[in-house]
């Protein structure tokens, strides 16, 4: 008889989750998506430091140069190297987007779990709050807040984005939890003596993995779009460079009409790359969450 | 066979897979005569449902017809063109597939669905007579005309099944093939629906092919019983004869495995499991589980033979 | 510490579900005035039978503590279920287990089969080490004729329905409950597999000190292993008593109709006469004051429309709720 060590078991909830993570990382799509996002993060983080130029300092380099060996993307009318701007801006955009995404996602998950699983008046209250946040024209409020606050810095930007990013995924997650709650294995877990929180972590969460991943991708992408959008119209941490702010500068200097494609296409491309990588990760998580696709049964 | 309404000859229906095909119906021959009720019994996976749709060439991929013939009143259904076959279906032979009652459109009124079914298969526009026609139809299945204005979701399971039956009867078919028509219904409703089917069959002079895993239910209404196992037909007999003296060991095992309020006690189940239909065992497919298996059973696949008039069995022991 | 009263006692259990929103007053009485007693000193398999809408699954959920009664009491070892706390609640959870109709539904598709067995082992502290836990799980699987090495490492979708249900029963062997609530344990299985499951249940009753509440709509299967039956209709008990007596000597018109409609695998014992089907849906009127069956009853009398028939005692534990026997 095979000794226990050779049989993989579902050990305590922590180990089950770690084992889950291992499976997650082995999936090809997740790997691909992760490589894409990590790749671009690394390239930009390292890249801008390697280049000798300062992305923010005006007059650092000659103005308005077209692409050349020294300046692969050229320079902008204020005398800043565009490639350095791109790389630096990417790191900041990613940082803001992910911070906003993580905060929003955490709020969404907590509210969805507490409301969805425990129900009752608490759920009704949370539900109303969620609906309010969904209905509020968030972009308008975002613009208002950003305009009122004046100087917006990076943490504030993330917070603002998070506050309006959590509500919709929360609603969808809650619906999912409500349906999972009725499943037979929840009843069996109760009969085995498990309590609410344990059931949520042990039984419900793993089944939400693909959805969680997808929602996270959505939340982060939404945050980055909102960020780019706000910055494009001039609201945001104006003192620094992000992808959106790059596009803002480009717009202000009529780069689109002047055909200065070396200026505006790269940041757009990077944004698309990021969205794509998150999307592929969520597709991979979908496969993981569904063991039927994993093992030929 | 004379006076056979529908006759399957060596019908083979397989399912395509990435490896070997699943031989769901592997050379089945049997017939349904006029004005009779035939029961087709077997466990899940024996191929009876595949056979039911195969008879009307209604198989959809990955299933395909590998071979054999199905004759309706002597005409080969498989060599007909699609138009001719469509006319035969529903007008002459109606199929009530499994869970048909769940296939009713929830947002349409029953009245409209019956109308659709009739127009699709008959082509005629009945105009003003339609309403009366439908009322009569519903009445024939003991449903009030008020039901025609209801939506499927407002009706109970038994009522939905009766509505489906009324649709099948609309064009007065000569043969009705019903696949598990009562499996999800309550006991009393189940009896009611079956009695209704028999009643309709008597009134219209048609035949009924009832497919079910429940031989208790079949024994209540059928004239003849056909037993399938692992894609093969193993026994066909008059229903009284088959219970008095089952010829095939599987039939014996099947009857013994059904609980009965008459007998009590836990019934004896047949040991083992049905075979993998991708690679069935050599010889007789039942031999691994058969208490009477002998050497020849492991080598030669027994053919369904008529050992006495009306008694068919595929077993080396009774040859 | 000897306890020789009733392990489980249910008195006047009623459950009413509200329908619609805040304003609508419509409701459904799923269960009405239900009584039950399962003694400690002997083992019984009691069949709780009824067709759809009879309330039998609601009773299961109430007894398992998943929903709360509207009125009436459920007493476990003489203590109100709703008031159990701490050790007493743990004991109840340990001693009252369940098997459900759909074994696939009862399994978390994310985990392997070992998960559903390790759960109770861990929570009820049935083992003190990984090795011991594995041994217990394996023994439980062997009791239901399953090979642990072929089962534990597989996902739910890789096993057949019969195997999954056996694993559910292995879980029962593991937890050794005093009462098993079995809600349609065989109805989703092939006929040939049912006998094995019934044998396992009988074995649990005879050799493992376990009583069982066998909930089903299929009396033929229950009759194999159960000696007592309670027949429900639309939430109320119509007749109850010794199984054989209720079947062979049915008193209630509904029960007579029900029993006579159960198919017998014998063409010489066919249905006699015909049943009448309903022409139109009759709404479940909550304002029915009389007998719930009276609109379908061939023997209805005027009083049946006015007053609910009480559960009357005939001889030897045989009870009927029908005015014909008042």
Which residues of chain C make contact with B214, given a CB cutoff of 8 A?
Answer: 191, 263
Q: Tell me, rounded to whole angstroms, the distance of Cα A205 from its chain centroid.
A: 19
Does residue B155 carry a pLDDT above 70?
A: yes
Q: Hey, how many other C-beta atoms are within 10 angstroms of the C-beta on C24?
A: 9
8 A C-beta contact, residue C121 and residue A9: no
Question: Is residue A97's pLDDT more than 90?
Answer: no
- Kindly report the CA angle at C304 between C298 and C309, in degrees rounded to 5? 115
Mean pLDDT of A122-145: 83
Chain C residues near residue B267 by CB distance under 8 angstroms: 195, 224
Q: Which of A4, A9, A296 is the mutation pick for testing C, counting most C CBs within 10 A?
A: A9
Of A273-277, B251-255, C221-225, the one with minimum mean pLDDT is: A273-277
**Hunting for tokens 């035969």 — which residue is that?**
B88
Give the distance from residue B154's alpha carbon to the nearest chain C alpha carbon, in angstroms: 8
Q: Which residues of B touch C259 (CB under 8 A)?
A: 261
Cβ contact C258–B187 (<8 Å): yes
Chain C residues within 8 A of A1 when measuring between CB atoms: 138, 149
Is residue A4 a part of any domain in this protein?
no
Label residue A4 by pLDDT band (50, 70, 90).
very low
Backbone dihedral angles phi then psi of residue B39, each to the nearest 5 degrees: -105, 135
Please state which of the ranges B98-107, B157-166, C29-38, C284-293 shows the lowest mean pLDDT.
C284-293
Interface membership of A120 toward C (CB under 8 Å): no
Q: Tell me whether residues B264 and C265 touch, CB distance under 8 A.
A: no
- Map out the domains of chain C as residue ranges: 37-64+85-289
| Residue C187 Cα, gap to closest chain A Cα (Å) | 16
State yes or no: pLDDT of A26 exceeds 80.
no
> Rounded distance, CA C297 to CA C294, Å?
5
Over residues B251-275, the mean pLDDT reads 88
Q: Tell me what pLDDT residue A2 has.
A: 34
C119 touching A (Cβ < 8 Å): yes
C77 exposure class (CB count in 10 Å sphere: 0-12, 13-18, 19+):
middle
Picking from A9, A7, A1, A42, the residue whose alpha carbon sits closest to that of residue A277 is: A42
Closest alpha carbon to C154 in C164, C144, C162 = C164
pLDDT-based confidence at B39, cuts 50/70/90?
Answer: very high
**What residues are paired with B5 via a beta bridge?**
none
Q: Strand, coil or helix: what is A215?
A: helix
- By Cβ distance, the residue of A1, A2, A188 closest to C116 is A188
Pairing of β B305-308 and β B311-313: antiparallel
Q: Is the pLDDT of residue B236 over 90?
A: yes
Do C132 and C180 form a contact (C-beta atoms < 8 A)?
Answer: no
CA separation, residue B317 to residues B204, B287, C313 (Å): 41, 11, 56
| Residue of C65, C130, C158 with shortest CB distance to A295 | C158
* Beta carbons of A158 and A172 less than 8 angstroms apart: no
Q: What's the average model confidence in pLDDT over A171-194? A: 89
Flag whether pLDDT at A285 surpasses 60.
yes
Closest Cβ opposite residue C110 in set A1, A8, A206: A206
Q: What is the pLDDT of residue A24?
A: 61
Look at residue A6 in the predicted model and tell me its pLDDT: 28
Contacts of C66 in chain A (CB under 8 A): 187, 190
Residues C185 and B239: their CA atoms lie apart, in Å, by 30
**How far is the C-alpha of C268 from the C-alpha of A259, rounded, in Å?**
92
The pLDDT value recorded for residue C58 is 94
CB pair distance less than 8 Å for B159 and C278 = yes
Q: What percent of chain A has pLDDT over 90?
A: 4
> Is B260 in contact with C265 (Cβ distance < 8 A)?
yes
Cβ of B260: how many Cβ atoms within 10 Å? 20
Name residues whose C-beta falls within 8 Å of residue C96's C-beta, 6 or more positions apart in sequence: C8, C63, C64, C76, C177, C178, C179, C180, C181
Higher pLDDT pick, B56 / B226: B226
Q: Does A185 touch chain C (CB under 8 A)?
A: yes
Q: Which of A12, A192, A295 sits opposite C120 (nearest CB)?
A: A192
Q: Does A254 touch chain C (CB under 8 A)?
A: no
In a domain, A5, yes or no: no
Between B and C, how many residue pairs show a Cβ–Cβ distance under 8 A? 133
CB contact under 8 A, C108 and A185: yes
- Backbone φ and ψ of A226, nearest 5°: -60, -40
Of A4, A184, A193, the CB nearest to C120: A193
Whole-number pLDDT of residue C2 = 57
Listed as ranges, residues in chain C with pLDDT below 70 are: 1-4, 20-25, 279-287
Is residue A208 situated within a structural domain?
Answer: yes
B143/C264 Cβ within 8 A: no
Which chain C residues are closer than 8 Å to A187 by Cβ?
A: 64, 66, 98, 100, 106
- Determine whether the interchain pair A289/C100 forms a contact, defined as Cβ–Cβ distance below 8 Å: no
A190 interfacial to chain C (CB closer than 8 Å) = yes
Q: Is the CB of C89 inside 8 Å of chain A's CB atoms?
A: no
Give the minimum alpha-carbon distance from C157 to chain A in angstroms, rounded to a whole number. Answer: 6
Q: Which residue of A1, A184, A191 is in closest CB contact with C105?
A: A184
- Which chains have 3 or more CB–CB distances shorter than 8 Å to chain A? C
Q: In chain A, which residues have their Cβ closer than 8 Å to the Cβ of C116?
A: 185, 188
User: B269 to chain C: which residues are within 8 Å by CB?
Assistant: 192-196
Q: At A190, is the pLDDT very low, low, confident or very high (cuts 50, 70, 90)?
A: very high
Q: Does A17 touch chain C (CB under 8 A)?
A: no
Higher pLDDT among residues A291 and A62, named by residue:
A62
Distance from CA of C128 to the nearest CA of B (A): 37
Q: Which of A2, A193, A297 sits opposite C123 (nearest CB)?
A: A193
Computed over every residue of chain B, the mean pLDDT equals 87
* Confidence at residue B264, expressed as pLDDT on a 0 to 100 scale: 81
User: Taking CA atoms, what residue in C is nearest to B214?
Assistant: C191
Q: Kindly tell me if the per-residue pLDDT of B314 is higher than 80.
A: yes
Q: How far is CA A252 from CA A59, A75, A86, A93, B194, in A?
A: 18, 15, 17, 20, 79
Task: Report the number of distinct structural domains present in chain A.
Answer: 1
In a domain, A187, yes or no: yes
The residue ranges of DSSP E strands in B42-92, in sequence order, are 63-72, 75-76
Chains that touch C (3 or more CB pairs under 8 A): A, B
| Distance to chain B for C271, nearest Cα, Å | 7
Q: At residue B144, does pLDDT exceed 60?
A: yes
Give the CATH number, domain containing residue A288: 1.10.3720.10
| Omega before C113 within 30 of 0, i.e. cis | no
Residue A184 contacts C, CB cutoff 8 Å: yes
CB contact under 8 A, B216 and C192: no
CB B56 within 8 A of CB B138: no
Q: Is residue A130 part of a domain?
A: yes
Interchain CB contact of A189 with C (< 8 Å): yes
The better pLDDT of the pair A213, B203 is held by B203
> Looking at beta carbons, which residues of chain B come within 8 Å of C258?
187-188
Confidence category of residue A9, pLDDT binned at 50, 70, 90: very low
Chain A residue closest to C87 (CA)?
Answer: A193
Confidence at residue A289, expressed as pLDDT on a 0 to 100 scale: 62
Contacting partners of chain B (3+ CB pairs under 8 A): C
Residues C37-64+85-289: name the CATH superfamily.
P-loop containing nucleotide triphosphate hydrolases (3.40.50.300)
Instruction: Express each pLDDT in A68-95 by its tens digit.
Output: 888 888 888 888 888 888 999 899 888 8
Residues of A in contact with C93 (CB under 8 A): 191-193
| pLDDT > 70: percent of chain A | 87
pLDDT number for residue A160: 78
Chain C residues within an 8 Å CB radius of B221: 270
Minimal Cα distance from A209: which residue of C? Answer: C110
How distant is the Cα of B168 from the closest Cα of chain C, in angstroms? Answer: 19
Q: Where are the domains of chain B?
A: 4-92+174-318, 103-172
Q: With respect to residue A8, please indicate whether it lies within any of the assigned structural domains.
A: no
CATH no., domain B4-92+174-318 = 3.40.50.300
- Best A2, A192, A212, A293 member to test C by mutation, with max C CBs in 10 Å, is A192
User: Cα(C52)–Cα(B157) distance, rounded to whole angstroms?
Assistant: 10
């Amino acid at each position: 008889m095979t000794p226990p060590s050779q049989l993989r078991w579902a050990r305590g909830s922590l180990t089950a989750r770690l084992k889950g993570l291992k499976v997650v990382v082995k999936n090809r799509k997740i790997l691909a998506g992760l490589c894409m996002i990590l790749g671009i993060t690394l390239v930009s983080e390292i890249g801008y430091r390697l280049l000798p130029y300062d992305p923010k300092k005006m007059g650092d380099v000659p103005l308005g140069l077209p692409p050349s060996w020294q300046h692969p993307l050229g320079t902008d009318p204020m005398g800043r190297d565009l490639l350095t701007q791109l790389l630096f801006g990417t790191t900041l955009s990613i940082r803001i987007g992910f911070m906003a995404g993580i905060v929003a996602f955490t709020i969404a998950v907590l509210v969805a779990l507490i409301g969805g699983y425990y129900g009752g008046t608490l759920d009704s209250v949370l539900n109303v709050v969620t609906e309010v946040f969904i209905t509020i024209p968030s972009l308008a409020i975002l613009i208002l807040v950003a305009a009122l606050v004046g100087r917006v810095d990076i943490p504030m930007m993330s917070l603002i984005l998070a506050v309006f990013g959590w509500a919709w995924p929360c609603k969808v997650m809650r619906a999912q939890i409500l349906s999972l709650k009725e499943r037979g294995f929840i009843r069996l877990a109760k009969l085995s003596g498990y309590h609410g929180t344990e059931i949520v972590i042990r039984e419900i969460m793993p089944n939400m993995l693909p959805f969680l991943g997808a929602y996270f991708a959505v939340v982060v992408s939404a945050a980055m779009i909102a960020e780019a959008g706000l910055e494009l119209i001039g609201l945001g941490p104006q003192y620094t460079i992000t992808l959106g702010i790059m596009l803002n500068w480009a717009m202000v200097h009529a780069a689109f009409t002047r055909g200065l494609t070396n200026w505006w296409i790269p940041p757009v491309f990077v944004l698309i790359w990021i969205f794509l990588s998150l999307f592929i990760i969520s597709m991979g998580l979908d496969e993981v969450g569904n063991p039927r696709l994993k093992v030929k049964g | 066979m004379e006076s056979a309404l529908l006759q399957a000859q060596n019908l083979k229906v397989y399912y395509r897979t990435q490896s070997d095909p699943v031989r769901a119906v592997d050379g089945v021959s049997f017939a349904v005569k006029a004005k009779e009720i035939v029961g087709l019994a077997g466990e899940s996976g024996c191929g009876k449902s595949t056979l039911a749709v195969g008879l009307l060439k209604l198989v959809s991929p990955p299933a395909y017809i590998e071979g054999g013939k199905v004759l309706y009143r002597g005409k080969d259904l498989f060599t007909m063109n699609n138009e001719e076959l469509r006319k035969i279906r529903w007008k002459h032979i109606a199929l009530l597939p499994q869970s048909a009652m769940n296939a009713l459109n929830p947002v349409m009124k029953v009245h409209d669905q019956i109308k659709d079914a009739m127009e699709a298969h008959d082509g005629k526009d009945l105009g003003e007579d339609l309403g009366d026609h439908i009322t009569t139809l519903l009445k024939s299945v003991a449903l009030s005309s008020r039901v025609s204005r209801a939506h499927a979701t407002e009706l109970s399971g038994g009522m939905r099944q009766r509505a489906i039956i009324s649709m099948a009867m609309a064009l007065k078919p000569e043969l009705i093939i019903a696949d598990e028509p009562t499996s999800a219904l309550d006991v009393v409703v189940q009896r009611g629906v079956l009695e209704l089917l028999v009643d309709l069959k008597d009134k219209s002079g048609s035949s009924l092919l009832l497919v079910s895993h429940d031989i208790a239910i079949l024994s209540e209404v059928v004239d003849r019983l056909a037993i399938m196992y692992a894609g093969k037909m193993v026994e066909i007999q008059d229903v009284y004869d088959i219970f008095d003296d089952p010829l095939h060991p599987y039939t014996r095992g099947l009857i013994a495995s059904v609980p009965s309020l008459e007998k009590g006690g836990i019934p004896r189940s047949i040991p083992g499991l049905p075979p993998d239909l991708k690679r069935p065992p050599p010889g007789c497919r039942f031999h691994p589980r058969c208490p009477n298996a002998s050497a020849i059973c492991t080598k030669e696949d027994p053919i369904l033979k008529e050992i006495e008039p009306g008694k068919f069995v595929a077993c080396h022991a009774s040859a | 510490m000897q306890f020789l009263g009733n392990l489980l006692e249910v008195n006047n259990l009623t459950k009413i579900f509200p329908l619609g929103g805040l304003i609508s007053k419509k409701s459904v009485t799923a269960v009405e005035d239900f009584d039950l007693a399962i003694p400690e000193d002997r083992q019984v398999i009691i069949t709780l039978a009824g067709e759809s809408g009879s309330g039998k699954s609601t009773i299961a959920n109430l007894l398992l503590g998943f929903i709360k009664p509207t009125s009436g009491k459920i007493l476990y070892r003489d203590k109100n279920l709703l008031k159990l706390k701490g050790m007493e609640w743990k004991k109840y959870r340990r001693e009252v287990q369940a098997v459900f109709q759909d074994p696939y539904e009862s399994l978390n598709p994310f985990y392997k089969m070992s998960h559903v067995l390790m759960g109770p082992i861990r929570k009820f502290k049935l083992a003190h080490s990984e090795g011991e836990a594995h041994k217990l799980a394996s023994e439980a699987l062997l009791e239901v004729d399953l090979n642990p090495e072929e089962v534990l490492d597989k996902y739910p979708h890789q096993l057949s329905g019969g195997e999954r249900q056996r694993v559910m029963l292995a879980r029962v062997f593991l937890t050794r409950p005093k009462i098993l609530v079995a809600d349609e344990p065989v109805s989703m299985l092939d006929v040939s597999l049912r006998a094995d499951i019934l044998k396992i249940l009988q074995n649990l009753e005879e050799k493992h000190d376990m009583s069982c509440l066998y909930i089903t709509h299929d009396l033929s299967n229950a009759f194999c292993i159960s000696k007592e039956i309670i027949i429900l209709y639309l939430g109320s008990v119509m007749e109850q008593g010794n199984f054989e007596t209720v079947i062979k000597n049915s008193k209630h018109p509904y029960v007579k109709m029900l029993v006579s409609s159960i198919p017998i695998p014998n063409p010489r014992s066919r249905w006699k006469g015909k049943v009448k089907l309903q022409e139109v849906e009759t709404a479940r009127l909550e304002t029915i004051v009389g007998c719930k069956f009276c609109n379908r009853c061939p023997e209805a009398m005027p009083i049946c429309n006015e007053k609910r028939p009480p559960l009357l005692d005939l001889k030897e534990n045989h009870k009927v709720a029908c005015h014909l026997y008042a």
